[in-house]
Amino acid sequence: MNYYNEIKNELINNEVYKKVKDYSKNRNDLNTYYNVGKLLSEAGKHYGEGIIKKYSVRLTNELGKGYTETRLKYMRQFYEKSPTMSDYLTWSHYVELLSINDINKTNYYIKVIEKQNLSVRELRQKIKSNEYERLDNETKLKLIEKSNEEENIKDFIKNPILIKNKYNTNKISEKVLQQIILENLKCFLCELGEGFTYISNEYKIKIGNRYNYIDLLLYNIKFNCYVVIELKTTELKKEHIGQIKTYMNYVDKNIKNHNQSNTIGIILCKRDNKFIMEYCSDERIFSKEYELI
């Protein structure tokens, strides 16, 4: 087989296709680069690693710019890793994913791109923040096994939650923690997962003759429930469980309607305490650590 001519024809056909088939040119790009990658892989087995550099020089001379040695190696990687092809991802998305060696991690980010319509820059930020690594093992298992088990609201809440901090210190009060969350609210909601929307901070409720204030009151559209968030700059303590449970029960009794699911609670703390959570009988309550970045 003349590998070079096959590769050249694939690339020429793709350039022609781009000009006449706008609606599906992204899919054709991916198919072309996959086919070229396969040919490059086979050519390498016959002629050695140096063949890619030779093909790059010839393609550049005959077809113009865009066929560097690095780009051809990306195409070969694309074939060899064979990730899930999605019409929602561009070639640039896949180039970012090629540095990942864990196929489960790659498939997670493909799913996130499809759901959230991520740009390449947004994808790069998620990878850099180790978003996949911050999911719990149960969630990863669901993704790997492609389980039909219904997703839970806690599945995609990261741990730790990364919070952008403009102050040059890790010693902050709960008020300051709340303020820096509000200043980067969109990022914070994305850290929590899918479907979270903001309602209010310092949400005032009256219990008996006293007013209390919920640090953050959110709503999750996907799971149709209110979300109470309490901020703690200390290690998780048992009294924090009682406090947030009281607030959750208040919301359930006085705010939510019968068509909505029960309220959940998230305690965001400086350091988690697994022993306390082990004896927390309310499965609607979760504790997550935060990390200032």
82 and 182 belong to one structural domain: no
Tell me, what CATH number does 242's domain have? 3.40.1350.10
By percentage, how much of the chain surpasses pLDDT 70?
97
117 and 163 belong to one structural domain: no
Parts of the chain with a pLDDT under 70: 19-24, 147-148
Tell me the DSSP string of the chain. Answer: --HHHHHHHHHHHHHHHHHH-GGGHHHHHHHHHHHHHHHHHHHHHHH-TTHHHHHHHHHHHHH-SS--HHHHHHHHHHHHH-PPP-TT--HHHHHHHTT---HHHHHHHHHHHHHHT--HHHHHHHHHTTTGGGS-HHHHHHHHHT--SPP-TTTT--SSEEE---SS-S---HHHHHHHHHHTHHHHHHHH-SSEEEEEEEEEEEETTEEEEEEEEEEETTTTEEEEEEE-SSB--HHHHHHHHHHHHHHHHHT--TTSPPPEEEEEESB--HHHHHT---TTEEEEEEEE-
Q: Which of 93, 118, 134 is the last residue of a domain?
A: 134
Residue 153 domain flag: no
Residue 150 domain flag: no
31 and 65 belong to one structural domain: yes
Q: Which domain holds residue 265?
A: 159-292
Q: What's the pLDDT score for residue 151? A: 83
57 and 120 belong to one structural domain: yes
| Nearest partner of 135 among 111, 115, 107, 161, judged by Cα | 161
Q: What's the pLDDT score for residue 18? A: 72
Give me the number of domains the chain comprises: 2
Q: What's the pLDDT score for residue 1? A: 85
Please give the model's pTM, rounded to 2 decimal places.
0.85
Residue 25 domain flag: yes
CA distances from 258 to 145, 153, 222, 249 (A): 34, 19, 16, 14
7 and 130 belong to one structural domain: yes
pLDDT tens-place string over residues 57-86: 999 999 999 999 999 999 999 999 988 899
